[in-house]
Structure 1
Amino acid sequence: MNTPLPTTAYPGFGATAAGRASFLAARRKAAVRALALALPLLVFLLVTFVAPIVSLLARSVQNPEVRNGMPHLSAALAAWNGAGVPDENAFAALALDVKRASEKSQLGDIARRMNFYLPEYRSLLFKTARAARTQTPAQWKTSLVELDPRWGENETWRLLKRAAQSPTPDYLLNAVDAQVAPDGSVARVAADSAVYRAAFARTVTISATVTLLCLLLGYPVAYLLATLPEKQSSRLMMFVIVPFWTSLLVRSTAWYVLLQPGGVINSALLRLGVIHHPVPLIFNRTGVLIGMTHILLPYMILAIYSVMKNVSPSYMRAAKSLGAHPAVAFARVYVPQTFPGVGAGSFLVFVLALGYYITPALLGGAGDEMISQLIAEQTNDQLNWGLAGALSCYLVIFTGVFYFVFNRLVGIDRLRFG
């Protein structure tokens, strides 16, 4: 049976409606004050973190080069049904737009965009621009086909029509080694041109392997730190925290020196007679796994340790007093209670490993490129921000999927053992 609240439910206020209203107004004022204090941080995160990510992801469907640089041609191709080659109006619009784009220094951007479809497009457009600046024929269609027979091919115009459409799925398809076929269907690219699906699979494989290695190495360390006396545990904890004070680049470079054929590790093994020839430990998958495991191991240790510190030793004593073997008690009583820490640490290490760039670039070989390296290549070397945005978009989706999986697993374990 519910007991009614006393008349002094809110200290300092009576039970009247005015008193309750005054109390709620004070709470609202405090909430507004807290929001005002947090507002600068929220604005900072929106400007420096959220906005750049949204901008990059938006580029995965944007296609502005041809549409903005060749507006007359884009309008003419929008009315073209895609059969054969367009009419004279489209050829005249092409000549007019390439001439203006060349004069405004926009033709380079258009040519670079078209080169993603067909590598020979750049030379074709610049050749056409030179002709458009020096010629004024009565029939541009006849003149341009005579200038280069490729203007008489349907494929040349089909790709221009696709490039003039925005938004476009082309970047998202290219990021999974697919493309739009001439008949409008989605088809895979040639096997010798497929790069990105293998890179995604390789990224997930490396990240999962690093997560497993960190779990195997970090669980015993976390258990030791959690069960030792406080004074000894604090001293040993320094060896876990110290790597956070060292630059990621410095740690990766240190492994670069240690793992070389003439480095410290191979030299020591040769002197001890363990090996007779230097072991390849760098510029391969081994170097990547060693470097990433060393850098990400503290995240796993700290996540598991934070949960282990809250596990009461009375559970183990109770299991032993009931006749359980210490190993059985550890496996069936202690370990399940640490699953939330294992799940949190595994997710943290796995997500961080998905986006790693410096360590694989320094220690890995040609067959160990992760998706972050391909994103950097598209932004820095190829200047293909659309494809970089598409690759980033898939990486964000993968991260969200893995978060959902880990969250469900950790949630189940908490319900069962919490």
Structure 2
Amino acid sequence: MGPLMQRLNFERAGFRTLIAKTARRLPFKIDPPSFQKAFEEIDPRWSDQDYWGILKNNARAQTPYYLLTALDLRQAPDGSIAAAPPDQGIFKAIYLRTFWMAAVVTLVALVLAYPLAYLLARLPARTSNLLMILVLLPFWTSLLVRTAAWIVLLQNGGLINRLLIQIGLIDAPMQLVFNRLGVYIAMVHIMLPFMILPLYSVMKGISPTYMRAAVSLGCHPLRSFWAVYFPQTLPGIGAGCLLVFITAIGYYITPALLGGPKDQMISYFIAFYTNGTINWGLAGALAAMLLLATLILYAVYSRLSGSTRLGVA
């Protein structure tokens, strides 16, 4: 009886008390034609057809309830699908926030990683290998330790605020932690190697003679870079952006420690419903939607990259 009342109460508040009240009055002898009247005598809410519609929708072993909830949709008692009330529809906004934050992190990581990967690809092998060790150094440190280190650096009395005050750029400490800015800074730092490595591997295979040939034919160096060099790095850009974006949308620890209530991504709510409310059905539905979005993104990238290769060929 407990799981039944809890499950039905998710769809309509008050179903728990209705089931409990009805169960306390059972058993009673009724004729089949008058069962509804007997139920209504126990509680007048049984005269509301919506309660019977909810029972009908949940009569199957599998129901779309959690998947619809993950999309801010509801199944009406008559079986139709409708949008959830505004005060209950929160997951679309959370998904949009997750994708937006992951896109910002991906864009900033690309802007920072592209010139660094270009520098590593153009330097002599000995110097490049030494600098590559510095790029890979964060991988040797725990993610939790790196996130905690950023809390120390970004807090009001942290090293960054103290340095900015000492050099005269600011007069009072800036709020750099427990907000969206702090999450972006930490996530970009963590994601940067994932962007540098694909770019470096592609740039390393581009012969410098292409640029020299374009310049020798009278093309401006910037124009040569944009028309000759940059298109050859598009596979590395696509692979790096895909890797960073997919990894970023699943981040949990960094936003949870460095962000505020409005900076949490979908993984935070998956963990909340898994460990907090023990609602594994909703947690599984949210995770399934996130996995579906990742697969769609990967399929789009594969199609675009395949079209690009075909066009080049």
Matched, 1:137 2:137: no
Q: Does 1:188 align with 2:83?
A: yes
Whether 1:234 aligns to 2:125 is: no
Q: Distance in 1 between matches of 2:201 and 2:93?
A: 37
Could you give the per-residue CA deviations for residues 239-283 of structure 1, whole angstroms, max 9, x where no partner exists?
Answer: 111111111111111112222222222222223332223222222
Q: Which amino acid aligns with 1:283?
A: F
Pair 1:316–1:115, CA change in 2 (3 A): same
Taking a change above 3 Å as real, the CA distance of residues 273 and 129 of structure 1, as seen in their structure-2 partners, is: farther
Could you give the per-residue CA deviations for residues 170-220 of structure 1, whole angstroms, max 9, x where no partner exists?
Answer: 222111111122333211111111101111111111111111011000001
Structure 1, residues 353-410: CA drift from partner, whole Å, max 9, x if none? 1111111111121212211112112222222222222222221221111112222333
Amino acid paired to 1:111? M
Kept in 2, the 8 Å contact 1:315–1:333? The answer is yes
1:305 aligned partner:
200
The 1-side partners of 2:112 and 2:91 are apart by 31
Taking a change above 3 Å as real, the CA distance of residues 218 and 288 of structure 1, as seen in their structure-2 partners, is same
**Counterpart contact for 1:343–1:409, Cα < 8 Å:** no
Match of 2:264 in 1: 369
2:240 corresponds in structure 1 to: 345
| Corresponding residue number in structure 2 for 1:171 | 66
Aligned to 1:108: 2
What are the equivalent positions in structure 2 for 1:269-348 lying under 5 Å apart?
A: 269-348=164-243
Tell me, in whole angstroms, the C-alpha distance in 1 between the residues paired with 2:186 and 2:287: 24
Matched, 1:159 2:50: no
2: distance between equivalents of 1:272 and 1:203? Answer: 36
* Identity in percent: 52
Q: Calculate the aligned-residue CA RMSD, in Å.
A: 2.0
Return the offset for 1:162. Answer: 1.7
Shift of 1:126: 3.3
Contact kept in structure 1, 2:9 and 2:15, CA below 8 Å = yes
* Counterpart amino acid of residue 187 in structure 2: M
| Letter of the structure 1 residue corresponding to residue 74 of structure 2 | Q
Q: Contact 1:336–1:417 at 8 Å: present in 2 too? A: no
Q: 2: CA distance between counterparts of 1:253 and 1:360?
A: 12
Report what 1:393 is aligned to. Answer: 288
By how many angstroms is 1:416 displaced? Answer: 4.7
Asked if the contact 1:215–1:346 (Cα under 8 Å) also holds between the matched residues in 2, the reply is: yes
Listed one character per residue, the Cα deviations across residues 313-353 of structure 1 (whole Å, up to 9, x for unaligned) are 11111111111111111111111111111111111001111
AA aligned opposite 1:157 = W
What residue identity is the alignment partner of 1:170?
Y
Rounded to whole Å, the distance in 1 between the matches of 2:68 and 2:21 is 30
Are 2:14 and 1:120 equivalent residues in the alignment? yes
Secondary structure of residue in 2 paired with 1:192: coil
Paired residues, number = 309
Match for residue 101 of structure 2?
A: 206
- Asked whether the 8 Å contact 2:164–2:170 carries over to 1, the reply is yes
Cα distance in 2 for partners of 1:119, 1:254 equals 45
User: Cα gap change, 1:183/1:152 in structure 2, threshold over 3 Å: closer, same or farther?
Assistant: closer
TM-score with structure 2 setting the length: 0.91
Report SS of the residue matched to 1:190.
Answer: coil
Whole-Å separation in 1 of the counterparts to 2:262 and 2:62: 33
Following TM superposition, by how much is the alpha carbon of 1:141 offset from its aligned partner in structure 2, in angstroms? 5.6
The 2-side partners of 1:208 and 1:254 are apart by 24
Distance change (3 Å), C-alpha of 1:144 and 1:287: same
Distance 1:309 1:292, change over 3 A: same
DSSP-derived class of the 2:196 partner: helix
Q: Which deviates more from structure 2 when the two are superposed, residues 363-372 or residues 265-274?
A: 265-274
Query: Which residue matches 2:43?
Result: 148
Larger Rg: 1
- AA matched with 1:138: K
Q: TM-score with structure 1 length normalisation?
A: 0.70
The reply on whether 1:257 has 2:152 as its aligned counterpart is yes
1:244 maps onto 2:135 in alignment: no
Match runs of 1:14-163 below 5 Å? 107-132=1-26, 136-139=27-30, 144-163=39-58
Distance 1:215 1:170 in 2: 39
Deviations 1:65-115 (A, max 9, x none): xxxxxxxxxxxxxxxxxxxxxxxxxxxxxxxxxxxxxxxxxx222222122
Which stretch shows the higher mean deviation, 247-256 or 259-268? 259-268
| Unaligned runs of at least 5 residues, structure 1 | 1-106
Report the CA distance shift for 1:110/1:238 in structure 2 as closer, same or farther (over 3 A).
Answer: same
Distance 1:108 1:381, change over 3 A: farther
